Structure 1
Amino acid sequence: MPTRVDGATGSRKRKTPKEAGVPSSKRRAVADNQPEDDAMDEILKLEEQISESRKYYNNIATLISMLNADEPGQEPNLLVAVSLCRVFSRLIAGGNLNDSKRAAENEKIIVAWLKERCQEYQKALVSIMRNADTSSQVTALTLCMRLINERVTHIPSADSEVWSSGLFKGVFEAVVEARDGQVLQSEFVEKFVQPYEDVRYYTFVQVSEYAATERTSETLEILISLLSHCDSAPSTDHKFEAFYIKSSSTNKRLTSVNSHRKRAQDAWLAVLNNNLSQSQRKSLLRIMAHTIEPWFSRPELLMDFLTDSYNVGGATSLLALSGLFYLIREKNLDYPQFYTKLYSLLDSDLLHSKHRSRFFRLMNTFLLSTHLPATLVASFIKRLSRLALNAPPPAIVAIVPFIYNLFRHHPICTFMLHRVIRDQNFQKELEKEGMDDPFDPNEPDPTRTDAIESSLWEIETLQSHYHPNVAAIARVISEQFTKQQYNLEDFLDYTYQGMLQAELGSGEKPLKRIPVVEYQIPKRIFTDRGLEEDGGLDTAPGSFMRALWDFS
């Protein structure tokens, strides 16, 4: 019986994946990964050769050519970018990029050549940050910041150049101007600006320089966002400890509170003086008190911006009030027409504005002073009363307690509530013919409106308001003033939704009387026969109510 004869081991042929029983899908995956593995092996080989000997420095130029940073339609090779970062980090740490006066001429040539290649690599990374996809942008940012760390750490003389006019300047401009750079900007803020105080300091420097020239609204929006995330101004006893570069802890500028405040102040001023849109001006005014002013060692520098905003009118003026009043009270800002401008802001739009509550809080502070003339306070009271006639119920609910408090703080104005007419003939004439209201609503000067000679007939009119809550609170003015004052915070945030929920409650409140919708419910509405059967209703064929619909 014939038997199988085994051949020699050395003569065996290696089986292909197909002969070995490997599935076709896995064979395709192996084939696809093979070029990537080969490319990675080539990159690592070039990198290792550079670290082994100077004679392989030309590999740096080869790797840069493989980066594809400026090739249109091609994704940058991030493996090459990371490899080059390691290469230059080792060269910088080894002192191969340091200039030395005592070095030989050929050494100087090599150093100059390496510097040129490093600059070329840095420009490639910045280009990737500007134009590549999101993942590549974030990777390029990380590599750039690592190079900054290496250069400043091992070449102390390059500190000022790197931060002010070198790589960091390019990084900052690329972050601001990057295509679809929202993720890149968030990464820059969250990973570098917020955690590290030296990066934040030099970011302020770059913003002030960048915003010194006129920029577009989109660019300014990015700058405002960057600065807004730096909302924690250091206190006078703050100790600077979180530095991206360890050597920064010995820099006196970076460990000085005044220096940080000065740089932030310059950055904000550059943005505020730029080509701001109306919406950007409003957003800046909203964060003025909590985010911007704390950085200013000289808040009076905000005077021009706030006064210009206050003179715009409308919601912009309302938002500028708090910052302007702070300068008046704390920094003795002279604004002689402040109350005249404040009076002009009282219009019908104010009572429908979403900033209404904020305005009433501020106006309550402005009018509490007992040194204000009664004629001025009376004008505000009368103006508010007149506006209340056409105001929404949530606004009226705040106006009446506000007026009540003003009467308590300025008792001389209570003459507007009740006047005794001693002349009987004039009394009879008044009852017969009435009289004109002496208040002049068109007078812009609140001290010359003659409001003190008028009365609050508007509030009495509101006592018949359709909304029971409004009518009830309006009656407070006609009753004896037994309450010291109202807490305005209980009334300022009223809304239609809140008033409706308060009226409906939880649904368990029983109705004292079922509301009547019809005094007589008809059997039919749209036919003559039905109307005739009901009797007592409009049975005329040409009834106006039925003529409103045509069902033919």
Structure 2
Amino acid sequence: MASILTKKPKKPKLKELKTLGQQLLSSRAHINNLPLLLTVISPSSPPQHVLESLLSLQSFFTTVLPDLPPSSNSKKRRLDDSAKDDPEFIYRTWLRSKFDEFVALLIEVLVSPDTEETLREIVLDSFMEFVKLGNRGRFYSAIYHKLLRNIVHSATPVDFLSGMLASKYFKYIDVRYFTFISMEKLAETLDTTNIHADKTVSGDGDNTDRSRESMELSIHKIHYIISHIPPLEGIAGNSEHEMWSGSGSSSKEEHDGKEHSKLRKAEDKQLKTDKGDNDVLSPATICKKMKLKFTKAWISFLRLPLPIDVYKEVLATLHQAVIPHLSNPIILCDFLTRSYDIGGVVSVMALSSLFVLMTKHGLEYPNFYEKLYALLAPSIFIAKHRAKFFELLDSCLKSPLLPAYLAAAFTKKLSRLALSVPPSGALEDVDESVKDDSKGEDVVKGDNSGTGTNISHKRIGIDHFKNEESNPMKSNAMRSSLWEMHTLRHHYCPPVSRFVLSLENDLTVRSKTTEMDIKDFSSGSYATIFGDEVPLAFYKATPTCLFSESEFPGWTFKFEESKENDTGNTSAAENDVSTKRQRIEIECS
């Protein structure tokens, strides 16, 4: 008997669903069909059944929703006893609970990985219709926030849903506005939740890893949503805006809105109409409020512990996609200075935004040039963003107020790096570059040569420049000379040697000197070198290597496997020479 009572009711078939929906829409007498239709809204139900039930429920709730009381989890108005005992009020309260259940089921279908993409798009459109009409013609921010919260906190990626939401609805200004509000709240909640979780599961490694993975997934989703909201250009100059909900209200609606003001969330009050009978929202007011919400959302997001891939992506676009639209860009100074102090590629990527704050928004950074000098290492020539870095470096060193010791230190450091890094700046091994450079310093100290190598023994002298010194003031660059330029004149790459020859002109005569654009040299590669140089020379066949065997008499660039000496009479010295020759042949081939 117990098994019969606990047995789940059988879900209706497709034809039965159509009949149930028609009856529900025709008369209140069939209101009990509502719970039956709700049972079908599930990721496990057939898509045709979900669609049929969805159409009936959407048509039903669209007509009754304006007359329903606030949700059970909202702040209710004080009601007298007669209102509480009113059958009509009890009926409408029950309908409100069923609508809340309907909204929760729609969100479950939307974020489920088992939902087909076609059905997901239809469900999203139906959900956004309730966002549009469910709050007496105003934007229903409460259920929209529930959707975004479930997207961010879902255990699986929902890129298709986030992308569809961005492509179809982020063009509406009110959707953007409330998206910023929700992203700010979710980022703040996520940060608080993460701190609490770290304290709770500090002794459980597995739980800590799961918490960290969940945190990173949520951060990825917030970043995807917030970075796909269109920029704010052009808003202030428009007299009309495309809005998803109603753009204004009449005087009667405004009066009704005041009656229900205590029942709405604070963000629902942000979009008010101008005084008078004008139903169009003020462009200047919207622009101002949008910029404020944009700023709060991004600042809350940047306070999160960003994963390294998100961190780099944010830094790469911050100066173009975020800073121009902030209400006060200088509030990013702490985030950017911390990023700049990290070093390596992160510092390079933070340089663009930091440079914008310094040049356009008056940020003072006393140690800026010292940090910039520390970034000059062989690794910078193989970095992905090296072209942008050298352009910014060029801009930073153009100031006529730059002290002489700084100009000398940067010049000397770049000259020294030019000896060890490849002309393309693309195929150099960082560790070997640093190692070779350190060996060169040892030679300088040992033989007192001016070049730091064994090539030029005729030039006697000591280079006082401290290549490993991170502080440009202590590098002794003013006591040195640019002997590296003489070495670069004999560089194996023709463009390098030709460029160095141009430096022999009298650069002090500004009327005869044309400043070169750093962009022409900052993004080269071995492919561009071959593309420029090979067509200028005559070859019977397309070259396959940088050097030919004729340029190195006695050398061979073909590796041949050594044969074992069966007699065993080969001397140890001969074996050593053979081994070295094989290594040279391998490196040159």
TM-score, normalising length from structure 2?
0.69
Does residue 446 (structure 1) correspond to residue 472 (structure 2)? The answer is yes
Q: Is the 8 A contact 1:394 1:495 kept in 2?
A: yes
For 1:311 and 1:75, how far apart are their aligned partners in 2? 57
Structure 1 pair 508–431 and aligned structure 2 pair: CA distance change class (3 A): closer
For 1:542 and 1:448, how far apart are their aligned partners in 2? 49
How far residue 499 of structure 1 moved from its aligned partner, in angstroms, is: 0.6
How far residue 153 of structure 1 moved from its aligned partner, in angstroms, is: 3.9
Structure 1 pair 519–105 and aligned structure 2 pair: CA distance change class (3 A): closer
- More deviation, 99-108/260-269: 99-108
Query: Hey, what does 1:233 align to over in structure 2?
Result: 232
Q: Is the 8 A contact 1:385 1:459 kept in 2?
A: yes
Given residue 220 of structure 2, which amino acid in structure 1 is its aligned partner?
A: E
Given residue 323 of structure 1, which amino acid in structure 2 is its aligned partner?
A: S
Given residue 62 of structure 1, which amino acid in structure 2 is its aligned partner?
A: L
1:419-458 alignment, distance < 5 Å:
434-458=460-484
Does residue 52 (structure 1) correspond to residue 15 (structure 2)? The answer is no
- More deviation, 290-299/175-184: 175-184
Q: Secondary structure at the match of 2:485?
A: helix
Given residue 141 of structure 1, which amino acid in structure 2 is its aligned partner?
A: L
Does residue 391 (structure 1) correspond to residue 421 (structure 2)? The answer is yes
- More deviation, 382-391/473-482: 473-482
For 1:315 and 1:272, how far apart are their aligned partners in 2? 18
Q: Is the 8 A contact 2:22 2:56 kept in 1?
A: no
Match of 2:106 among 111, 125, 130: 125
Structure 1 pair 438–249 and aligned structure 2 pair: CA distance change class (3 A): farther
Given residue 277 of structure 1, which amino acid in structure 2 is its aligned partner?
A: P
Query: Hey, what does 1:492 align to over in structure 2?
Result: 522
Q: Secondary structure at the match of 2:491?
A: coil
For 1:260 and 1:546, how far apart are their aligned partners in 2? 70
Q: Secondary structure at the match of 2:522?
A: coil
Does residue 169 (structure 1) correspond to residue 145 (structure 2)? The answer is yes
Q: Is the 8 A contact 2:291 2:325 kept in 1?
A: yes
Query: Hey, what does 1:147 align to over in structure 2?
Result: 130
Q: Is the 8 A contact 2:157 2:217 kept in 1?
A: no
For 1:378 and 1:328, how far apart are their aligned partners in 2? 23
Does residue 475 (structure 1) correspond to residue 501 (structure 2)? The answer is yes
Q: Is the 8 A contact 2:21 2:53 kept in 1?
A: no
Kindly provide the CA deviation profile for residues 132-186 of structure 1, in whole angstroms up to 9, marking residues without a partner as x. 42434333222211122221245x5xx5xx30xx211111123334434121111
Structure 1 pair 496–90 and aligned structure 2 pair: CA distance change class (3 A): same
Q: Is the 8 A contact 2:489 2:496 kept in 1?
A: yes
Give the total of aligned pairs.
453
Query: Hey, what does 1:220 align to over in structure 2?
Result: 219
Kindly provide the CA deviation profile for residues 500-525 of structure 1, in whole angstroms up to 9, marking residues without a partner as x. 111222987889xx976387999xx9
Q: Secondary structure at the match of 1:438?
A: coil
Q: Is the 8 A contact 2:132 2:244 kept in 1?
A: yes
Kindly provide the CA deviation profile for residues 209-233 of structure 1, in whole angstroms up to 9, marking residues without a partner as x. 0010226122211211112112412
Query: Hey, what does 2:326 align to over in structure 1?
Result: 296
Given residue 402 of structure 2, which amino acid in structure 1 is its aligned partner?
A: L
How far residue 431 of structure 1 moved from its aligned partner, in angstroms, is: 9.3
For 1:331 and 1:260, how far apart are their aligned partners in 2? 21
Unaligned runs of 5+ in 1: 1-35, 397-429, 527-540
1:187-226 alignment, distance < 5 Å:
187-193=164-170, 195-212=171-188, 213-214=190-191, 216-226=215-225
1:509-524 alignment, distance < 5 Å:
517=550
- More deviation, 198-207/317-326: 317-326
Kindly provide the CA deviation profile for residues 476-497 of structure 1, in whole angstroms up to 9, marking residues without a partner as x. 2334445332222222222110
Q: Secondary structure at the match of 1:505?
A: helix
Q: Secondary structure at the match of 2:503?
A: helix
Given residue 52 of structure 2, which amino acid in structure 1 is its aligned partner?
A: L
Match of 2:410 among 365, 370, 380: 380
Given residue 130 of structure 1, which amino acid in structure 2 is its aligned partner?
A: V
Q: Is the 8 A contact 2:42 2:109 kept in 1?
A: no
Does residue 262 (structure 1) correspond to residue 303 (structure 2)? The answer is no
1:306-455 alignment, distance < 5 Å:
306-395=336-425, 434-455=460-481
Query: Hey, what does 1:242 align to over in structure 2?
Result: 242
Match of 2:61 among 74, 78, 88: 88
Given residue 252 of structure 1, which amino acid in structure 2 is its aligned partner?
A: K
For 1:184 and 1:311, how far apart are their aligned partners in 2? 37
For 2:580 and 2:369, how far apart are their aligned partners in 1? 56
For 2:217 and 2:42, how far apart are their aligned partners in 1? 29
Unaligned runs of 5+ in 2: 1-10, 71-76, 195-214, 251-270, 274-280, 427-455, 542-546, 561-573, 583-589
Query: Hey, what does 1:28 align to over in structure 2?
Result: none
Given residue 172 of structure 2, which amino acid in structure 1 is its aligned partner?
A: Y
Identity among equivalent pairs (%): 26
Structure 1 pair 279–116 and aligned structure 2 pair: CA distance change class (3 A): same
Given residue 302 of structure 1, which amino acid in structure 2 is its aligned partner?
A: L
Query: Hey, what does 1:105 align to over in structure 2?
Result: 86
TM-score, normalising length from structure 1?
0.74
Given residue 523 of structure 2, which amino acid in structure 1 is its aligned partner?
A: D
How far residue 543 of structure 1 moved from its aligned partner, in angstroms, is: 12
For 1:344 and 1:220, how far apart are their aligned partners in 2? 31
Q: Is the 8 A contact 2:549 2:555 kept in 1?
A: no
Structure 1 pair 470–92 and aligned structure 2 pair: CA distance change class (3 A): same
Q: Secondary structure at the match of 2:134?
A: helix
Given residue 495 of structure 2, which amino acid in structure 1 is its aligned partner?
A: N
| Bigger radius of gyration among the two | 1
For 1:138 and 1:436, how far apart are their aligned partners in 2? 73
For 1:431 and 1:170, how far apart are their aligned partners in 2? 76
Query: Hey, what does 1:252 align to over in structure 2?
Result: 272
How far residue 117 of structure 1 moved from its aligned partner, in angstroms, is: 1.0
Q: Is the 8 A contact 2:380 2:386 kept in 1?
A: yes
Q: CA RMSD of the aligned region, Å?
A: 3.6
Structure 1 pair 368–122 and aligned structure 2 pair: CA distance change class (3 A): same
For 1:334 and 1:296, how far apart are their aligned partners in 2? 19
Given residue 486 of structure 1, which amino acid in structure 2 is its aligned partner?
A: M
Structure 1 pair 274–249 and aligned structure 2 pair: CA distance change class (3 A): farther
For 1:180 and 1:124, how far apart are their aligned partners in 2? 19
How far residue 74 of structure 1 moved from its aligned partner, in angstroms, is: 10
Q: Is the 8 A contact 1:43 1:63 kept in 2?
A: yes
